[in-house]
């Protein structure tokens, strides 16, 4: 079993950042071969997802809909003021799994792996493991 982690700095309050290149480079560097790649985000106000990478409007649409369905002005009880980010994180999820063949991610033609920032800007980390 091989794995590692890398840092990602986010620059906006909400953003979907393509981390496919970092995962792909890590797999190639380790010579992981074939297996399953587990990618995990250990943060409660961020998520991970796999979605279209060809048209950046898709990322904008996802974030716009989240802003519409999760109110910023609801009387949340959490004192930190970032309850919307916690809810978005729960809806998006904290991990993704991708098949790996010959050190390469088996993503669909248009798919990318996104780190979903909901409470930035921050420095975050992403963990990965292949088995």
**pLDDT of the residue at 128:** 97
Domain total of the chain: 1
Query: Which CATH number do you get for residue 58?
Result: 2.60.120.460
Determine phi and psi for 46, rounding to 5 degrees. Answer: -145, 165
- Under the banding of pLDDT at 50, 70 and 90, the label for residue 87 is very high
State the pTM of this model: 0.95
In the three-class reduction of DSSP (H, G, I as helix; E, B as strand; rest coil), residue 52 is classed as strand
The mean pLDDT value for 22-36 works out to 93
Residue 32: per-residue pLDDT: 81
SS3 87: helix
């Amino acid at each position: 079993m091989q794995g590692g982690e890398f840092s990602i700095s986010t620059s906006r309050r909400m953003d979907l950042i393509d981390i496919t290149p970092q995962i792909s480079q890590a797999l190639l560097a380790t010579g992981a071969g074939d297996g399953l790649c587990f990618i995990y985000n250990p943060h409660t106000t961020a998520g991970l997802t796999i979605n279209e990478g060809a048209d950046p409007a898709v990322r904008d649409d996802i974030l716009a809909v989240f802003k519409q369905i999760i109110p910023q002005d609801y009387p949340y009880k959490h004192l930190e003021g970032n309850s919307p980010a916690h809810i978005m994180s729960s809806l998006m999820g904290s991990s993704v799994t991708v098949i790996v063949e010959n050190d390469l991610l088996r993503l669909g033609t248009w798919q990318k792996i996104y780190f979903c920032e909901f409470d930035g800007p921050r420095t975050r980390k992403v963990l990965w493991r292949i088995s």
